[in-house]
């Protein structure tokens, strides 16, 4: 945010201008994402970025010195990455005992219906990648080429899709 135009957007957003806040969120998003990618687990990057931008939109007015805005925003991202990391440690989505107990409580038909519901609950970008990999049995490279993504982004989406599906299925 070094340019005078960027500084004016920050000042306007701080003063409560909704258009300036929208512009500020769009301008900050790539930097927030890069910072989150360095400080978060791969599966938490999207959540950390979204939460940090929500905090920015709600609490920008509380920043007393706009010159410290970047440092404040990166601290918000770092704090969110740590929070999500603590949640990941406390929650083990691969707990085989929980999976076995869950599966034992369901008939084959109920399992199919629950899986359909879990897949329908996924955001479109996650549903698409899990269907291509697990149902059409495409390779990561084939999926990446079809979706116009890198292999790393494809793997990340697939991991997130599977994690969300598992969380949905194992939720009490």
pLDDT band for position 90 (50/70/90)? low
Q: Treating both helix axes as pointing N-terminal to C-terminal, what angle do 151-170 and 96-104 enclose, rounded to 10 degrees?
A: 50
Mark whether 18 and 66 lie in a shared domain: yes
| The pLDDT of residue 10 is above 90 | no
State the residue range of the domain holding 123. Answer: 96-170
**Percent of residues, the chain, with pLDDT higher than 90:** 35
Q: Note whether 63 and 72 are within 8 A (CB).
A: yes
Query: What's 118's domain CATH number?
Result: 1.10.10.10
Mark whether 80 and 22 lie in a shared domain: yes
Out of 92-101, 130-139, 142-151, pick the least confident: 92-101
Mark whether 77 and 104 lie in a shared domain: no
Mark whether 61 and 130 lie in a shared domain: no
Mark whether 80 and 34 lie in a shared domain: yes
pLDDT band for position 95 (50/70/90)? low
Mean pLDDT of the chain: 86
| The pLDDT of residue 111 is above 80 | yes
The per-residue DSSP string of 9-31 comes to: HHHHHHTT-HHHHHHHHHHHHHH
Answering whether pTM is above 0.75, one says no
């Amino acid at each position: 945010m070094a340019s005078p135009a960027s500084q004016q957007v920050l000042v306007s957003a701080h003063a409560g201008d909704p258009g300036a806040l929208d512009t500020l969120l769009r301008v900050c998003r790539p930097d927030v994402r890069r910072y989150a990618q360095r400080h978060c687990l791969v599966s938490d990057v999207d959540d950390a970025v979204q939460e940090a931008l929500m905090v920015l939109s709600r609490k920008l007015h509380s920043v007393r010195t706009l010159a410290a805005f970047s440092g404040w925003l990166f601290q918000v991202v770092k704090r969110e990455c740590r929070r999500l990391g603590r949640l990941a440690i406390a929650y083990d989505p691969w707990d085989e005992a929980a999976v076995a107990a869950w599966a034992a409580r369901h008939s084959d038909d109920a399992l199919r219906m629950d899986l359909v519901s879990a897949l329908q609950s996924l955001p479109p970008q996650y549903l698409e990648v899990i269907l291509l990999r697990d149902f059409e049995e495409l390779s990561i490279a084939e999926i990446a080429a079809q979706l116009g993504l890198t292999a790393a982004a494809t793997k990340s989406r697939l991991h997130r899709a599977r994690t969300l599906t598992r969380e949905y299925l194992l939720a009490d």
